Homo-oligomer: A and B are copies of this chain.
Amino acid sequence: MNNKEKLRKAGLRPTKQRMIIADILLDGINRHFTAENLQNEINSSGNSMSIATIYNCLKKFRNCGLIKQVESSKDTAIFDTNINQHHHFLDEETGELIDIENDEVNLRKLPKIPQGYLNNGVEVLIKIKKQI
């Protein structure tokens, strides 16, 4: 399926701007990035785009499940093109994230989900620190 079809299937109009972003993000390669990272990539591909559009687009892509947003207490939002359930190492000093594939973690026991709620995904974060 090409990117135009992917956007249509997600319920998003394939505008010029969304196609530029889709061409960068939806190539099957897993990556972590910020809005600013993406703007730099767009610029160096010879295009340009308002930062507001980039934020709008990332929010739409995330809400449609085309990308994910990583849970991490950094001051900048970090997005992830790997939409499968998976986990991360986090170096808290640098903010660097490293993927952990789902089958590398085995959760034997999980608590009962609170009454009235549904499980919407489990994320394991292993905080790591550079050895001195």
Binding site for B on A (CB under 8 A): 69-73, 77-78, 89-92, 98, 100, 104-111, 113-114, 116-131
Most chain-B CB neighbours within 10 Å: which of A92, A98, A124, A129?
A124
Complex-state Cα separation, A129 to B118, whole angstroms: 5
When C-beta atoms are compared, the residue in chain B nearest to A87 turns out to be B111
Helix, strand, loop or mixed for chain A's interface? strand
Complex-state Cα separation, A91 to B115, whole angstroms: 13
Beyond A73-B69, A77-B73, A107-B108, whether A120 also contacts B113 by CB under 8 A is no
CB contact between A131 and one of B98, B104, B117 (< 8 Å): that residue: B117
Contact status B128-A114, CB under 8 Å: yes
